[in-house]
Amino acid sequence: MAKTKTSYFCQSCGFESAKWLGKCPSCQQWNTFVEEIVEKASKNVPDWKTSTQISRVNKPAKIQEIVYTEDHRLITPDKELNRVLGGGIVSGSLVLIGGEPGIGKSTLMLQLALIIPNIKVLYVSGEESEQQIKLRAERILPKPVSDCYILTETSTQNIFKQIEVLEPNIVIIDSIQTLHSAHIESTPGSVSQVKECTAELLRFAKESNTPVFLIGHITKDGMIAGPKILEHMVDTVLQFEGDRHHVYRILRAIKNRFGAASELGIYEMQGSGLREVSNPSEILLSQRDEPLSGVTISATMEGMRPMLIETQALVSTSPYGTPQRSATGFDTKRMNMLLAVLEKRCGFKLGAKDVFLNIAGGIKVEDPSIDLGLAAAIISSNEDMPVPYKVCFAAEIGLSGEIRAVTRIEQRIAEAQKLGFEQIFISSYNKKGLDLSKYTIEIKTVSKIEEVFSLLFG
């Protein structure tokens, strides 16, 4: 019998070593190496269509002679998923979806399996029983439109046998960490098993031209569990984000070989599943009747989609001597930078006061274009003077107090105008090439932060 081959793998990043190491040279983590069996030559295990496989030798082709054909896409009834995938599901693509436990990954995939008309979908689950999936399907869609088949199996060889018999149009795996291949003797979820199972599914997707969706677990740091090579192997990586205590979920594209990697879709979690949010600005803005101090509206961009969000600030005297600085949904270091600019360039004494910032709706924003809106909210709360509700902001603030230009200003202005705003503050450097005559909204161009406060508060 051939000798069994073993190796040591880092459970954090997937680094392979011939011997055990205390510290991983790749990710610098301690005590993460585990011994795994990576090869068993004495056992001959059938693979995907090994009996009917035809060997083919690829030859180099001149780039001018290569014929390009447009990718065939399956348009789903879920418009948000179509947007994130770049226009629909590409045939033969391998899509990885990651997210926290309970965020809605399985719900989204089961909902997708039920709503596509005239499509045969195989939903493979290694975590739930058929009765559990049936119970959730009854809640999401009592009368499914597609032909959805449920398979509770963890062996890839058995899954491929059922695929050959059923010949589905879409395959969904829930989840990749529960699968195991007989080619590898490691436990399910280990680095070598995840790599081998993904490689087998990738080969199946490309040879059969069938799209495959993989649900993946994430670590406590928010990264997709398993080796980093897993994200390199697949065609598309989607991250499902959001707070489980809020109703809104964000599906963000991290990697996409068939579309833009900066798109996102927004869903609302309901008792009957996930509902698409086609216009997130109307949901993220509160419908208040009276003006409140410390509340402003900022125009931001998430991918190619403009959104108006509500930025809130609270400034109060510190009762304990040491002022507190807290930001929810915004970078705390950037907040400290804005406070330093307001104190140095505008003369506002905020060093001895507590400052709290919040992005309404439970979303996180990294776009610097909300700087001006946050600064206006801070001064509004400090002076206890409300900003008019029909005014919004879209500009970045520099360290010298200058108002800097932001990208895609036309889309931000058009979104504010569509939602009925009367004024928008932008940088004077954004005026170049901007046709002001086609907008009915009043556009205020400013170059210094002092100009904004004099126009708002006098």
How large is the C-alpha radius of gyration of the chain? Answer: 27
Neighbours of 234 (CB within 10 A): 25
Q: How many angstroms separate the CA atoms of 414 and 394, rounded?
A: 12
For the chain, helix, strand, coil in percent to 5 are 30, 30, 45
Contact 127, 174 (CB under 8 A): yes
Neighbours of 216 (CB within 10 A): 25
106 is in an annotated binding site: yes
Containing 354, the helix (H) or strand (E) segment is: strand 353-359
Strand partners, 269: 274
Q: Tokens at residue 181, please?
A: 């291949």
Sort strands 170-174 and 147-152 into parallel, antiparallel or unpaired.
Answer: unpaired
The DSSP 8-state label assigned to residue 322 in this structure reads: S
265 is in an annotated binding site: no
63 is in an annotated binding site: no
Three-state DSSP class for 238? Answer: strand
43 is in an annotated binding site: no
- CB within 8 A of 453, min separation 6: which ones? 346, 376, 379
- What's 407-428 look like in SS3? CCHHHHHHHHHHCCCCEEEEEH
The DSSP 8-state label assigned to residue 177 in this structure reads: G
16 is in an annotated binding site: no
Cis peptide leading into 428, omega within 30 of 0?
no
Compute, in degrees rounded to 10, the torsion defined by CA atoms 26, 27, 32, 35: -30
Say how many residues make up the chain.
458
Three-state DSSP class for 366? Answer: coil
Q: How many angstroms separate the CA atoms of 180 and 203, rounded?
A: 16
Q: What number of CA atoms fall less than 13 Å from residue 34's CA on the CB side?
A: 15
101 is in an annotated binding site: yes
Q: How many angstroms separate the CA atoms of 307 and 310, rounded?
A: 10
332-346 and 371-383 helices, crossing angle to 10° = 60
Contact 419, 282 (CB under 8 A): yes
143 is in an annotated binding site: no
282 is in an annotated binding site: no
Annotated binding residues, as ranges? Answer: 99-106
Annotated binding residues for ATP, as ranges? Answer: 99-106
